[in-house]
C-alpha cells in the first residue's frame, strides 16, 4: 500500500476519535467513542529452521528454500488481503464520521428551533395558545388564531419527530463506526502477524543460502534452472500449445505491454509498483494500466475472475500456480509468462509450465 493509502488509515483514526466531541456543550446526544472489543492477538510463529541438511544435500536445500519462499508468498497474500480490508474499513469509518458530523449539526439546529419555541411561549406568559385564543374579543383574530394553532401544533409534532429520527440515526452511525473500528483493529493485527511471518520466512531462506559455499550456490542455481526446465518441457510435451492459438484483446495487449515493461524490477512483498512488485501486485497493476481493475491478491484473482481452460488461454490471461493459489503470472504467448518470482529476484519471463499450474483466469 502506498503512502497515500497509509495516510487514509491515520485520517480515519483521527476523525473517528473526534466523533465524541462533535456535539459540544449542552448536546442531548454525544456519539459514543468507537471502543473496539478486545480481539485475540495472533500467536507469534516460531522462526523456521535454517540448519543445513546432513551431508549438505543441495536437493534438500532446494526443497527447503522452495518451501520457505512458498510460505512467504502465502503470508504475503494474507498481508495484502488484510491491507485491503484495512483500507476499506478506514474509508467506511471516515464516511460514518462525516455522517455523524452532519447529524450533529442538524441536531443542534433542531434544538435551537425547539428552544426558540419554548422561549416564545415563556415570553407570552406561559398560557397555552388555546387559552390565549379563547380570551380574545376579536372574532377575526379568533379565526386566524385557530389556523395558526393548528399549524403550530403540526410544526411542533414534526420538529419532535425529526429530533427523534436524527438522534436515532446518530446512534446507529456511532454503533456502525464502533463495529468498523473493531474490524479495523482485527485487520491490523492480521496484517502485523502476516508481516512477521513473511520476514521470518525470508530471513530463514537468506540465512540458509548464506551458509553455502560459492560452488554450492552455483550448483543450487543450476538445480533450480533444471527443475524449471524439466517442468516446462513436460508441460510443452503434453501438446498444450497445439490448442492455444487465441489472440490477445486490445486490453490484453496493453496489460502484456505493461507487464513486460517491468522486467528487471525487484520483487518486494506487498509492493504494487511503480518501482517494485510482488506477483499479484504486478498482475493487478498491469490490468489497471489496461483500464480493468482486478482484485489485489493472487487468491482473490483466482476466486473472483473468470476461469478459462488452459487450451483457451490467450495473452493477458493470468496463470495461477500451486494448490493454494499462492503465485500468479501473466501469459504472454508462445508458452511463456512474465512474473515477479520471489524475494531476491526480479520481474522476468519464464516458461508458463515451469511451476505447477492450478488454473487460468481472465480479467475483463
Query: Cell 504472454 belongs to which residue?
Result: 332
State which of 179, 210, 241 marks the end of a domain.
210
Of the three residues 210, 229, 249, the one that is the final residue of a domain is 210
What value does the mean pLDDT take over residues 47-63?
Answer: 81
pLDDT recorded at residue 20: 43
Look at residue 334 and tell me if it is in a domain. yes
339 is catalytic: yes
| Residue 195 and residue 260 share a domain | no
Q: What is the pLDDT of residues 166-178, one digit of tens each?
A: 788 788 888 888 8
My answer on whether 75 and 189 are in the same domain is: yes
Q: Which residue has the higher pLDDT, 41 or 211?
A: 211
pLDDT (average), residues 188-208: 92
Residue 310 pLDDT > 80, yes or no?
yes
Of 17, 62, 70, 339, which one is the catalytic site residue? 339
For the chain, what percentages of helix, strand and coil (3-state, to nearest 5) are there? 60, 10, 30
Contact of 267 with 342, CB cutoff 8 Å: yes
Is residue 89 domain-shared with residue 204, that is, in the same domain? yes
With cut-offs at 50, 70 and 90, classify the pLDDT of residue 2.
very low
- Whether 279 sits among the annotated catalytic residues: the reply is yes
Contact yes or no for 167/107 (Cβ under 8 A): yes
Please, what is the average pLDDT of the chain?
A: 81
141, part of any domain = yes
Q: How confident is the model at residue 261 (pLDDT cuts 50, 70, 90)?
A: very high
* CATH classification of the domain holding 248: 3.90.1720.10
Asked if residue 125 and residue 177 are part of one domain, the reply reads: yes
Which three three-digit cell numbers place residue 22? 462533535
Q: Within this chain, do residues 221 and 202 fall inside the same structural domain, yes or no?
A: no
> Are 200 and 88 members of one domain?
yes
Domain enclosing residue 122, as ranges: 9-31+56-210
pTM value is 0.71
Instruction: Answer with the one of 210, 225, 250 that is the final residue of a domain.
Output: 210
Query: What pLDDT is stored for residue 280 in this prediction?
Result: 97
Clarify whether residues 184 and 294 are in a common domain: no
Q: How many domains does the chain have?
A: 2
- Encode pLDDT of 214-240 as tens digits: 999 999 999 999 999 999 999 999 888
pLDDT at 143 over 50: no
For residue 171, the domain's CATH number is: 1.10.287
Contacts of 179 (CB under 8 A, 6+ apart): none
What is the C-alpha separation between 265 and 198, in angstroms, rounded? 20
Amino acid at each position: 500500500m502506498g503512502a497515500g493509502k497509509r495516510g487514509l488509515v491515520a485520517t480515519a483514526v483521527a476523525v473517528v476519535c473526534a466523533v465524541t466531541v462533535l456535539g459540544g456543550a449542552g448536546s442531548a446526544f454525544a456519539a459514543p467513542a468507537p471502543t473496539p472489543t478486545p480481539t485475540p492477538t495472533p500467536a507469534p510463529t516460531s522462526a523456521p529452521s535454517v540448519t543445513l541438511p546432513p551431508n549438505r544435500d543441495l536437493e534438500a536445500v532446494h526443497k527447503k528454500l522452495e518451501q520457505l519462499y512458498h510460505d512467504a508468498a502465502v503470508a504475503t497474500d494474507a498481508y495484502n488481503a488484510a491491507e485491503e480490508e484495512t483500507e476499506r474499513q478506514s474509508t467506511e469509518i471516515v464516511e460514518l464520521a462525516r455522517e455523524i458530523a452532519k447529524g450533529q449539526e442538524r441536531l443542534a439546529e433542531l434544538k435551537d428551533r425547539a428552544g426558540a419555541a419554548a422561549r416564545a411561549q415563556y415570553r407570552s406568559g406561559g398560557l397555552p395558545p388555546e387559552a390565549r385564543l379563547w380570551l380574545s374579543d376579536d372574532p377575526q383574530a379568533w379565526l386566524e388564531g385557530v389556523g395558526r394553532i393548528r399549524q403550530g401544533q403540526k410544526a411542533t409534532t414534526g420538529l419532535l419527530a425529526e429530533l427523534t429520527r436524527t438522534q436515532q440515526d446518530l446512534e446507529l452511525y456511532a454503533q456502525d463506526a464502533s463495529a468498523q473500528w473493531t474490524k479495523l483493529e482485527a485487520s491490523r493485527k492480521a496484517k502485523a502477524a502476516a508481516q512477521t511471518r513473511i520476514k521470518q520466512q525470508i530471513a530463514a531462506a537468506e540465512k540458509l543460502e548464506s551458509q553455502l559455499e560459492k560452488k554450492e550456490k552455483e550448483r543450487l542455481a543450476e538445480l533450480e534452472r533444471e527443475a524449471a526446465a524439466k517442468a516446462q518441457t513436460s508441460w510443452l510435451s503434453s501438446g498444450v500449445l497445439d490448442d492455444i492459438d487465441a489472440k490477445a484483446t486490445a486490453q490484453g495487449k496493453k496489460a502484456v505491454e505493461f507487464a513486460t515493461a517491468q522486467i528487471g524490477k525487484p520483487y518486494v512483498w506487498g509492493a504494487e509498483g511503480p518501482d517494485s512488485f510482488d506477483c499479484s501486485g504486478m498482475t493487478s497493476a498491469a490490468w489497471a494500466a489496461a483500464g480493468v481493475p482486478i482484485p489485489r491478491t493472487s487468491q482473490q484473482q483466482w476466486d473472483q475472475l473468470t476461469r478459462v481452460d488452459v487450451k483457451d488461454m490467450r495473452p493477458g490471461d493470468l496463470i495461477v500456480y500451486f494448490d493454494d493459489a499462492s503465485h500468479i503470472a501473466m501469459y504472454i504467448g508462445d508458452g511463456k509468462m512474465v512474473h515477479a518470482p520471489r524475494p531476491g529476484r526480479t520481474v522476468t519471463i519464464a516458461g508458463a509450465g515451469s511451476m505447477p499450474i492450478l488454473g487460468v483466469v481472465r480479467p475483463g
